[in-house]
Amino acid sequence: MVTLGLMILTFSRAGFARDPSEMKEEAALSQPQEAEPEAESSPAAADASSQQQKPKATRPVRIKRIQIEGCRQIRCRTVKSILKEEPTPWWKRRIKRGGYDPFWAGDDRRRIELFYRSRGFYSVRVEGPEVERGRRGKGVKLRYGVEEGKPVRVAKIEIALLDAPEEDLPKLRARLGYQEGDRFESEPYQEAGEAMQHYYQDKGFFRVEVERKAGVDPEAGVAEVGYAITRGNWYRIRKIQVEGTKRTQPKVVRRALTLKAGERYSRKKIIDNQRQVQRLPIYRSVRVVEQGDDEARKVDLTIRVEEGKPREVKVGLGYGSEEGVRVQGSWRHVNFLGGARELSVTARWSELLEREEVRFVQPNLGRAGNFLSVTAERRVEHEEAYRHEALSLTPTYHFILSRYLWDEASYRIEDNTLSRVLDLLKVKEEDLAREGLLSAVSNRVEWADLDNPIRPQRGARASLYLEAAGGPLGGDFSYFKAISETRGYYPLFTPAVVAAGRCKIGWAEPFGDLERLPLFKRFYTGGTGSVRGFDRYGLGPRDPDGRPIGGTKLWETSAELRLRVYKEWGLVGFLDGGWVWPEHQDYDLRDVVYGAGGGIRYSTPIGPLALDVGVPLTADPRYPDFRIHFNIGNTF
């Protein structure tokens, strides 16, 4: 495919450098060829091509600051992110490696130039670096000067369908990702060709060819872009083979597939099936190799898997401002009794929770992607107003409805014991301290479209949980319960700044001989995971001694502004609100109490380390002046 490096060399700054015959060929949408200038098409390529010429490193010198002057239409922070050199962290007193290198500092000038050209600034000029040495030669400051020039904008986009109906044009234009008048940038230009190719491949056309061509006039500041598409014939899947299985059998992989031989080829469906197999934890990697037979118009698929170790043991130690020290250990077998079945044993201890759990998973039961889990659990909760111990057995069937939507249907039978209950719970309050057998069914449906499940920067998530206990199910508790929650994430101005929001609403209603929900089934709010700036469960109804006893109606809302400052470090500003109401009261948002504050984040593979300071916005003797919250993971 043609590269931007090739296009840069095709035209001079004064305009078109070709003769009229070459210009005529440029107007035609012919297939461009690979060329050597591809090695100069990006800063990363310039890095690789220069590697062999790098002289021996000198003694490391601290880089105090890198300054880029002249950034107008592209943020200087964005430009700095592509540099090879970077400022030396202030806490590093001695530098064993890295630091200032004249070779890479000079090479970064070329990287800046190539980066600007890839963003449509073909007339950019970069000067530097100017090196300013500190006192006694202990450090340097680097300064680059940028003259961006006039950006090249897309004047015209042509799409030629050589063997497809013209009715496809509106759908193809919707997949371009850019439009006339936008800056001509290499990435959207190349991705648009791939998107149009994928459009037809998802419809069964295997040999789709997209020829792209761009005529750029840097002096006039315009670019004319063209795509010629040949979709070819549609193909069918002839056979599906599985390779790489050792501890498992090929049928384990086949059970995870919805693809069948004889179906029409679909790139999207192949990718979805690859993800289905990848969900089985026994497989470390999954690749799909396609081999086309043009005469028969058939495609042979080979699914190549790489198995990992079937057993793993994990031990973890953590700390939270509410839980205190927590210890967790787990053992897991991801090929238990063969067939990629999973058996896990987990134990966790903290000042607030003791939990031991045994879980069995049968994958791809009933339909590819769906699975059954059975969980046996012992759980002990240590709360201010009570101690709750539960022994439960919960079978759950998980439905994978689509890539973004799934559903869980469960039945739970649980034996509940309460101890250390407040003496103030007299006869009329005896339901709060009720013990016994719980028999309940529940259903949870969730939709999520996030760019990253651990550190989301764009997308949304919504869930609805419904639970019913008692009545025809038997048991000592009868109630209905519903919880709805939505979360959203959106970048502002730059990916380094993200706005995040959350809203959670809960409702519960006892019936039959149960007039009030027991303490362990009520809603609570306040603290690290809900409304920061307050004590754990510090909002809502309390007993005469000031201890929280929860409610049957819940409202929580949160808004955050997240800023990535340096590498894995970030800052957060937040505003949280929440309240719970007892049985005899309705929702009244005038009761909602708010807390605000800020915090520090440090990203890790298991989630960010979070340190927050929250301040109540409502003056009340029951509320603290401020609260410090420390936890692993985002609040939402």
DSSP 47-75: HHHHGGG-----S--EEEEEEEE--SSS-
Burial of 517 (0-12, 13-18, 19+ CB in 10 A): buried
Q: Could you tell me which residues come within 8 angstroms of residue 23 by beta carbon, excluding any fewer than 6 positions away?
A: 16
Instruction: State mean pLDDT over 611-628.
Output: 93
pLDDT of residue 35: 33
* Strand residues in 511-552 grouped as ranges (E): none
Residue 56: predicted pLDDT: 52
Percent of the chain whose pLDDT exceeds 90: 71
How high is the pLDDT of residue 545? 80
Q: What are the structure tokens assigned to 546, written together?
A: 């000031």
Instruction: Look at residue 127 in the predicted model and tell me its pLDDT.
Output: 93
Cβ–Cβ < 8 Å for 229, 50: no
What is the predicted pLDDT for the residue at 521? 94
What digits encode the pLDDT tens for the residues 332-354?
Answer: 999 999 999 999 999 999 999 99
- Of 587, 445, 577, 406, nearest to 508 (Cα)? 587
- Paired with 465 in beta bridges are 444, 483
pTM of the model: 0.80
> What pLDDT does 58 receive?
55
Residue 534 has pLDDT above 80, yes or no: yes
pLDDT above 80: residue 424:
no
Query: Given this model, what pLDDT does residue 135 score?
Result: 74
In this predicted structure, what is the pLDDT of residue 568? 87
The pLDDT of residue 432 is: 85
pLDDT higher than threshold 70 for residue 7: no
Q: Give the domains, in start order, of the chain with CATH numbers.
A: 42-147 (3.10.20.310), 236-307 (3.10.20.310), 429-632 (2.40.160.50)
**What confidence score (pLDDT) does residue 77 get?**
84
* The pLDDT value given to residue 584: 87
Q: What is the mean pLDDT of residues 160-171?
A: 94
Looking at the predicted structure, is the pLDDT value of residue 96 above 90? no
Q: What is the pLDDT of residues 438-496, one digit of tens each?
A: 999 999 999 999 998 888 999 999 999 999 999 999 999 999 999 999 999 999 988 88
| Arithmetic mean of pLDDT, 65-77 | 90
pLDDT at residue 265 tops 50: yes
pLDDT of amino acid 459: 96
Give the pLDDT of residue 543. 83
Which whole number is the average pLDDT over 607-615?
92
| Structure token pair of residue 411 | 């039945």
pLDDT interval class at 635 (50, 70, 90): confident
What is the predicted pLDDT for the residue at 423?
55
> Which residue matches tokens 């000042």?
351
**Is the per-residue pLDDT at 230 higher than 50?**
yes
The total of other beta-carbon atoms located within 10 Å of residue 209's CB is 13
Distance CA 611, CA 625 (A): 17
Which pLDDT score is estimated for 277?
Answer: 95
- What's the pLDDT at 67? 92
Band (64; pLDDT cuts 50, 70, 90): confident
Neighbour-count burial for 101-137, b at 16+ CB within 10 Å, e otherwise: bebbbebbbbbbbbbbbbbbbbbbebebbeeeeeeee
pLDDT beyond 80 at 426: no
Q: Point out the least confidently predicted range of 29-38, 216-225, 377-386.
A: 29-38
Q: What is the pLDDT of residue 524?
A: 96
| Token pair for 589 | 């948002």
pLDDT at 186 over 60: yes
Highest average pLDDT, of 49-63, 412-426, 523-537, comes from 523-537
Mean pLDDT, the chain, whole residue set: 87
In this prediction, residue 604 carries a pLDDT of 84
pLDDT class of 137 with cuts at 50, 70, 90:
low
What average pLDDT does the segment 514-524 reach?
A: 92
Over 80: is that where the pLDDT of 547 sits? yes
Q: What is the pLDDT of residue 567?
A: 79
Among 45-54, 243-252, 604-613, the range of highest mean pLDDT:
243-252
Q: How many other C-beta atoms are found inside a 10 Å radius of the C-beta of residue 287? A: 12
The Cα 489–Cα 501 span in angstroms is: 7
Average pLDDT over residues 297-309: 96
Runs of H (alpha helix) within 89-150: 102-118
Residue 30: the pLDDT is 33
User: What are the tens digits of pLDDT across the range 19-42?
Assistant: 333 333 333 323 333 333 333 344
Amino acid at 302: T
**Residues sharing a CB contact under 8 Å with residue 304, sequence separation 6 or more, in sequence order:** 243, 244, 286, 287, 288, 289
582-600, pLDDT tens digit by residue? Answer: 988 999 999 999 999 999 9
C-beta neighbour count of 261 within 10 angstroms: 12
Rounded CA separation 216/13 (Å): 10
